[in-house]
Amino acid sequence: MKFVKVLGGMVGTEKNLKHYNWLYSIIICACFLPFMSPAVALFIGLLLSVIGIKNENIHRYTSKILQASIVLMGFGMSLSAVISSSKNGFRETIISVTAVMILGILLGKLFRVEKNISLLIATGTAICGGSAIAAVAPILNSKDYQNSFALIVVFVLNAIALFLFPFIGLKLGLSQETFGNWAAIAIHDTSSVVGAGAIYGEKALQVATTVKLIRALWIIPLSMVIMVMNKSSEKKSIKFPWFILFFVLAIVFANLFPNFQTSYEHFNWLGKRGMVIALFLIGSNITVSEIKKSGPGSFALGFILWAIIAVGSLFFLTR
């Protein structure tokens, strides 16, 4: 631990961090190699964060890399499989979103967590993690520290889920389709859902990605409900996740014009590798100091809410 603290102090300043840009470049290049799995990339990112190596400039592109990767992966998906997954996941989605929001509000009052933080964590858990929090925050007029608390709780639980869910799925012998649906419902952020699906198998990846992106569309109706219930807030515009539309268009295009199958396979591969890069950047952006600032109440709320939806959805899908 002493070595870690000393090393963190040596590289913690902005001046010294510039010398480590080459390290980020090497790791990002390594993300294109077969041995670099989503779990390994996330672990390396977390390790760099622990020892104090962080590149703020690159982190600004994490969201764009994630969204572009999802669109590229759409070229490798079957339209019929997507439609089937959409139908099967609709009932689970409406039940889980409603249940999570109600539980989040109740648990927030129980743990005496600020109202805005409770709503942000519940929204991130119910739909799509950081993207949902970013969409709802302007409607709630939430403060920066409230947004940060909610994002940190969601990101930490995402990191745990990426390792834990595939392990549990294998131990329970879940099918590819069941695991894909479970991951899409119970894991917060799209990146971790895709990462867990990729670890579990190709079919699980397709189901998890499709169902999760369909869930992301619930940002719009949920934002409207929150806007109506939050009487003190001014009217705010709702950010539509346009990358989901491009994802759907990529699937449709690939299925309408099958002659370019070789190119689609290359796009799909590039999307998967881009997802690995995004997970590395997400891991390296999580800091221990920020986790401590979130407070035990916020983490208790997020963890219990996550545990309930994970266990409940697994029971519902396997009964």
Helices (H) and strands (E) in the chain, counts: 18, 0
Question: In this predicted structure, what is the pLDDT of residue 18?
Answer: 58
Tokens of 229: 């219930």
Q: Check: CB of residue 154 under 8 Å from CB of residue 134.
A: no
Q: Check: CB of residue 72 under 8 Å from CB of residue 273.
A: no
> Is residue 254's pLDDT more than 70?
yes
Give per-residue pLDDT as tens, 272-306. 888 788 778 877 776 666 666 666 788 889 899 99
For residue 174, the 8-state DSSP code is -
What is the rounded CA–CA span in Å between residue 133 and residue 42?
A: 21
What is the rounded CA–CA span in Å between residue 179 and residue 211?
A: 11
Helix (H) or strand (E) holding 170: helix 144-172
Question: In this predicted structure, what is the pLDDT of residue 4?
Answer: 40
Cβ contacts of residue 89 below 8 Å, gap of 6+?
A: 181, 184, 185, 210, 211, 214, 215
Q: Which of 4-13, 164-173, 251-260 has the lowest mean pLDDT?
A: 4-13
Q: How many CA atoms, within 13 angstroms, populate the side-chain half-sphere of residue 292?
A: 3
Q: Which of 35-49, 151-165, 167-181, 187-201 has the lowest mean pLDDT?
A: 35-49
Percent above pLDDT 90 for the chain = 12
51: helix, strand or coil = coil
Q: Which of 16-20, 130-134, 189-193 has the lowest mean pLDDT?
A: 16-20
Strand boundaries in 89-171, DSSP class E? none
Give per-residue pLDDT as tens, 11-37. 444 445 555 678 888 888 998 988 887
Question: In this predicted structure, what is the pLDDT of residue 40?
Answer: 79
- Identify the band that residue 140 occupies on the pLDDT scale cut at 50, 70 and 90: confident
Q: How many CA atoms, within 13 angstroms, populate the side-chain half-sphere of residue 222?
A: 31
Question: In this predicted structure, what is the pLDDT of residue 144?
Answer: 63
Cα dist from 47 to 40, 66, 76, 98, 132, whole Å = 10, 21, 32, 36, 27
Q: Check: CB of residue 7 under 8 Å from CB of residue 23.
A: no
Q: Which of 55-59, 125-129, 157-161 has the lowest mean pLDDT?
A: 55-59
Exposed/middle/buried for residue 235 (C-beta within 10 Å: 0-12, 13-18, 19+): exposed
Give per-residue pLDDT as tens, 265-278. 899 888 888 878 87
> Is residue 211's pLDDT more than 90?
no
Q: Which of 23-37, 74-88, 158-172, 305-319 has the lowest mean pLDDT?
A: 74-88
pTM over 0.75: no
Helix (H) or strand (E) holding 205: helix 202-216
Cα dist from 270 to 29, 32, 77, whole Å = 12, 8, 14
> Is residue 199's pLDDT more than 60?
yes
